[in-house]
Chain A
Amino acid sequence: MEFPTEIIGEKGYIKVEGDLDTEQSGEALRAAFNSVYDRGKKTIVLDLTGVQIINSYGIGKVLMCYKRLKADNGVLMVKPLQGFVKETFELLMLDKLLPVDG
């Protein structure tokens, strides 16, 4: 499983596909994050619009990305959220933590 990444200017983009609720998807996110981060991008945008389900495991992986960037004075952003993922982020107050890109 691989998530597509893209560099546009100073931002790196990761498009998460499918559910973010297993170790496989978590590892794919970690690998995609590392590939963007290792290219020197400190503003990384997660596109979760294709994600149907996110659970505590997936949220933990998102927060690992957040912490790593924060420790390096970087920013983790998200594309506008929708559906179940949006509700989940709001429930857990993560919408206060991750700014929206676009």
Chain B
Amino acid sequence: MTSGSAPPKILLADADPASQRALSDYFREAGWLFETVENAGRVADAVSSAGFDLVIADTTLPGADWFTVINRILLENPAQAVIVLSPSCDYGDAVKYFRTGVSDLVSRPLDIPWLKRSIHQLIRMTRDDQRDKQLYRFVQNEECVIELTARELAQVDHVSLPIIERLYLAELLSQNHALRLKVAIQEVLTNAVDHGNLGLPSAWKEELEPCGRDKYAVMRERRLADSTYGNKRVWISYSYDGAELVVRVEDEGQGFLNRPSASSVSPGPQCFGRGLALIESAVDQVAFEKNGAKIILTKLLNRSPKDT
């Protein structure tokens, strides 16, 4: 991304000469900088080497698989604003692109005024984000408590605590660590819902039902629908004091007595039991209370250069 005082800079990868001309004229009139790319295979490298406030990606531009290109761009910078221009977008494609993290998707024939409004809005949001990023470096304390039922949590594919994104944008957490933390928290929540509140044993993952699905998935669906299980609560809380991020997750299950440590995970073909290793690899400390029904993760943060 460019700095707040410089004019916005846009990367335009558009196969259609008419829309490319219309957008180029618009950028010139607005006093914005822009570069054009004629080959999809060069887009990701261009974004990596020079910061852009916005990438406009026409998926008919040949040269690479656009899904792979966009995945790479957003993996390197989840905050990168991307507008996808698609020839005719069906629902499946739209879901696929939005799940990668694109900001907007516009199908052809292009509504140019609509596209211009979207571009303008994204540029403004990007600049606002940069100011927020700078501000967040001075935040000394933040706390939050969330209470959800097992059924409510199960309806969400991914739970990502906003504070992780803020810490990443403030460069207090590296991209790699932010990703690891997200996965670790998802593992902890899955543990709380599936093993804690729903009482599902991992071994059921290796038992197939006549329908072809594993017993774990079948019983999970049944127990989520059963209010005895599905209404059990999970509490998620986090606190940040400028030096460390502490995340606590507690369920209403019975907890457990024995936990294998990461060092004891063997390369054997067991199809379960690796969640704890993923959790432990993402944080500096893992603690358990209430026989394991409460898990506390602590991640120390480097407040100067971001750790790697």
Contacts and interface: CB of A to CB of B under 8 A. Distances in A.
Contacts of B75: 52, 83
B281 A91 contact: yes
A55 B179 contact: no
Contacts of A17: 67, 96
Interface string A57-92: 101110110110010000000000001100110011
Contacts of B100: 18
Q: Interface residues of A toward B: which range?
A: 20 to 34
Contact of A23 (B180, B186, B217, B265): B217
Nearest to A56: B275
A7 interface: no
Which label, helix, strand, loop or mixed, suits the secondary structure of the A interface? helix
Nearest to B92: A1
Interface string B153-193: 00001100000000000000000100110110011001000
B157 A22 contact: yes
Contacts of A49: 68
Interface in B245-288: 262, 265-267, 269-275, 277-278, 281
B127 interface: no
A55 B194 CA distance: 15
B96 A55 contact: no
Interface string A10-54: 000000011101110011001000000000000000000110110
Contact of B278 (A26, A27, A64, A91): A91
Residue among A19, A52, A57, A88 having the largest count of chain B Cβ atoms under 10 Å = A57
A91 B176 CA distance: 14
B267 A94 contact: yes
Nearest to B179: A84
A61 B274 CA distance: 12
Given A21-B158, A22-B157, A97-B269, 6 more contacts: A17-B67, A56-B274, A64-B214, A83-B75, A88-B278, A91-B281
Interface of B: 67-68, 71, 75, 96, 99-100, 157-158, 176, 179-180, 182-183, 186-187, 190, 205-206, 212-214, 217, 262, 265-267, 269-275, 277-278, 281
